[in-house]
Amino acid sequence: MSSTDSTQSRRQEAFQLWKLPVAIWAALLILLAITVGSAYIPLGTFNIAINLAVACIKATLIALFFMKLSRSSSLLRLAAVAGLFWFILMFLLTGGDYLTR
Amino acid sequence: MSDAPALLHEPWPSVERQREGVSFGLWLFIATEILFFSGLFLGYTLYRNLYPDAFKIAARETEVFFGTLNTAILMTSSLTMAVAARGATRGFRKMTLWCLAVTITLGCTFLLCKGLEYHDDIDNRLVPGPDFKLKPPETQIFWAFYWVMTGIHAVHVTVGIGVVTTVTLLIYRRRIPLATAAVEAMALYWHLVDVIWIFLLPLLYLMGRS
**pLDDT tens profile B19-34:** 999 999 999 999 999 9
Assess whether A15 and A58 both reside in one domain. Answer: yes
Q: How far apart are CA A91 and CA B30, in angstroms?
A: 18
CATH class of B15-205: mainly alpha
| A58 in Cβ contact with A50 (< 8 Å) | no
Cross-chain CB nearest to B198 (options A29, A58, A95): A58
**Does the distance separating the beta carbons of A25 and B75 come in below 8 Å?**
yes
Binary contact (B72, A29; C-beta < 8 A): yes
Chain B, window 20-59: residues with a beta carbon less than 8 angstroms from a chain A beta carbon = 20, 23-24, 27-28, 30-35, 38-39, 42, 45-46, 49
C-alpha to C-alpha distance for B164 and B170, rounded to whole angstroms? 10
Give me the number of domains chain A comprises. Answer: 2
Residue A90: which domain range?
72-101
Please tell me the predicted confidence (pLDDT) of residue A2: 61
Instruction: Using the predicted structure, report yes or no on whether residue B3 has a pLDDT greater than 70.
Output: no
Q: Is B78 on the interface with A (CB under 8 A)?
A: yes
Question: Over the Cα atoms of chain B, what is R_g?
Answer: 20
In a shared domain, residues A63 and A76: no
Domain shared by A59 and A77, yes or no: no
Q: Write the DSSP symbol of residue A41.
A: S
Regarding whether A39 and A24 lie in a shared domain, the answer is yes
Of B39, B188, B210, the CB nearest to A42: B210
pLDDT in tens, B57-98: 999 999 999 999 999 999 999 999 999 999 999 999 999 999
Domain ranges across chain B: 15-205
Is residue B140 over pLDDT 50? yes
Band of pLDDT at residue B4, cut at 50, 70 and 90: low
CB pairs under 8 A between A and B: 132
Residue B1 — pLDDT band, cuts 50, 70, 90? Answer: very low
Q: Would the ipTM clear 0.90, i.e. be above it?
A: yes
> For B194-201, what is the mean pLDDT?
97
With 0-12 CB in 10 A as exposed, 13-18 as middle and 19+ as buried, what is B122? Answer: exposed
- Is the predicted pLDDT of residue A20 greater than 60, yes or no? yes
Burial of B205 (0-12, 13-18, 19+ CB in 10 A): buried
Question: In this structure, is the dihedral angle defined by the CA atoms of residues A87, A89, A90 and A94, taken in order, positive or negative?
Answer: positive
Reported as a pLDDT band with limits 50, 70 and 90, residue A61 is very high
Same domain for A38 and A55: yes
Closest to B143 measured CA to CA, from B64, B67, B201, B58: B58
Is B209 part of the contact surface with chain A (CB cutoff 8 Å)? yes
